[in-house]
Amino acid sequence: MKSPLAWHRLWAIVLKEFVQMRRDRITFAMMVGIPVMQLILFGFAINTDPKRLPTVVFNASPSAYTRSFVASMENSGYFDVLTSPATVAEAREAMAIGDVQFIVSIPPDFSRQLVRGEKPALLLEADASDPAATGNAISALNSLNQSALQHDLKGPLATLGTPPPSFEIRVQRNYNPEGITQYNIVPGLMGTILTMTLIMMTGMAMTRELERGTMENLLAFPVHPLEVMIGKILPYIMVGYIQVAVILIAAYFLFSVPIVGSLTLLLACVLIFLAANLTVGMMFSTIAKSQLQAMQMTFFFFLPSLLLSGFMFPFRGMPVWAQFIGEGLPLTHFLRIVRGIMLKGNGWTETWPNVWPMLVFMVVVMLIGFKRYRKTLD
């Protein structure tokens, strides 16, 4: 028996989709434009190394040393030491609102202990709800520790000023214990942009035929549902790769995000992720009755992906049921893969545990889509 699938028909669909894509300039521009715009926003408008963050200092041990320390905090450029609020409680409230980023508490006998070489500790409370905003300031403070007092500790005390540090800064991160680094943004951005744009585009692929009335003709042609589905997916794989290229290049130059692992492996995993998302779009497309419905379904899928994949919230911080759902989503696995390859230099063996779930997902979704594909106008 002859295979029901034929290359010439698949190719006919692919070419047709390409021409249509080329004609639909706005959509095409959007698909390339969204990643660029997002990255520019993340790269420039959203400063991941902000300066002059509002800081309150409670100095219970005023001395030349502590005054000099506070002055050098300001000189570092990261801290803007405020004169109010006056009490720790008020300061905490101000932090809850977001008016204060840091609270520095210097304990009463800090100066005395310092002179005695007892390595006193001061407390830095940081609003780490946005870790990207506080990370650099904290590390700046840590290095101040090593240099700030070198001028003041002279003579017999000079030995205290050289490393190891003469006092300890205890950092307490409020609100966000896991502390996501800014590198998370790029893999996350790549995954979410691809999920949203690609599902939306393919989601409209069949409904557009339905809405424009071209479905009747398409059904009257001797073309197999799989040929149509694959033929409509292939062009978007290319679009997906363009998006990935834009994001990776920009990530490299804007954020200097390293790519420690193999780029080939990364791009191979991207292919599976693209295909998984595109089949979701196709599946929606076979269920939705209009392009609007397809859009709504896209968001229905996109939101849990955004929230439960570990992009917005640390995956391990989620309740078990949410983790369970998250494990089912391609974006979750893709994020782990991309972080693993780009930041940790993971190879194929470490990557595979996150590849097969995407493949399973894809096959299941493809089957649903195939079952749901309209073969008649009934």
Binding mask 333-362 for other proteins (x = CB under 8 A): ------------------------------
Per DSSP, the three-state class of 106 is strand
Instruction: Identify whether the C-beta of residue 294 lies closer than 8 Å to the C-beta of residue 288.
Output: yes
Whole-number minimum distance, CB 208 to other proteins, in Å?
Answer: 10
- Residues 3, 156, 212, 319: which binds other proteins (CB under 8 A)? 212
Alpha-helical runs (H) found in the chain: 7-23, 25-40, 64-75, 88-97, 110-115, 131-147, 158-161, 185-212, 215-220, 225-250, 263-287, 291-308, 320-328, 330-339, 348-372
- Residues 3, 23, 158, 244: which binds other proteins (CB under 8 A)? 23
Whole-number minimum distance, CB 26 to other proteins, in Å?
Answer: 12
Three-state SS annotation for 186-247: HHHHHHHHHHHHHHHHHHHHHHHHHHHCCHHHHHHCCCCHHHHHHHHHHHHHHHHHHHHHHH
- Residues 121, 123, 223, 226: which binds other proteins (CB under 8 A)? 223
Of the candidate spans 87-95, 220-228, 299-307, 318-326, the one that interacts with other proteins by CB under 8 A turns out to be 220-228
Structure tokens at 295: 């859009």
Q: Which of 71, 81, 80, 73 is nearest to 140 (CA)?
A: 73
Instruction: Identify whether the C-beta of residue 291 lies closer than 8 Å to the C-beta of residue 199.
Output: no
Structure tokens at 266: 């990364």
Nearer to other proteins, 11 or 356 (CB): 11
Nearer to other proteins, 18 or 324 (CB): 18
Identify whether 85 is preceded by a cis peptide bond (ω within 30 of 0). yes
Per DSSP, 165 falls in state P
- Residues 4, 62, 98, 317: which binds other proteins (CB under 8 A)? 4
Structure tokens at 317: 């911080």
- Residues 123, 157, 215, 322: which binds other proteins (CB under 8 A)? 215
Of the candidate spans 33-41, 122-130, 154-162, 209-217, the one that interacts with other proteins by CB under 8 A turns out to be 209-217
Nearer to other proteins, 89 or 220 (CB): 220
Of the candidate spans 5-13, 59-67, 173-181, 362-370, the one that interacts with other proteins by CB under 8 A turns out to be 5-13
Q: What is the dihedral of CA 354, 358, 364, 365, to 10 degrees?
A: 150
Give the span between the Cα atoms of 86 and 66, in whole angstroms: 18
When asked if residue 217 is in the footprint of other proteins (CB under 8 A), the reply is yes
Q: What residues form DSSP beta bridges with 127? A: 174
When asked if residue 1 is in the footprint of other proteins (CB under 8 A), the reply is no
Interface residues for other proteins in 125-164 (CB under 8 A)? Answer: none
Per DSSP, 88 falls in state H
- Residues 6, 169, 287, 318: which binds other proteins (CB under 8 A)? 6
When asked if residue 30 is in the footprint of other proteins (CB under 8 A), the reply is no
When asked if residue 372 is in the footprint of other proteins (CB under 8 A), the reply is no
- Residues 213, 256, 316, 349: which binds other proteins (CB under 8 A)? 213
- Residues 32, 82, 157, 219: which binds other proteins (CB under 8 A)? 219
Q: How many residues does the chain have?
A: 378
How many residues bind other proteins (CB under 8 A)? The answer is: 26
Give the span between the Cα atoms of 102 and 333, in whole angstroms: 35
When asked if residue 5 is in the footprint of other proteins (CB under 8 A), the reply is no
- Residues 116, 216, 289, 324: which binds other proteins (CB under 8 A)? 216
Close Cβ partners of 319 (under 8 Å, ≥ 6 residues apart): none
The site for other proteins (CB under 8 A) is made up of: 4, 6, 8-9, 11-12, 15-16, 19-20, 23-24, 212-217, 219-223, 376-378
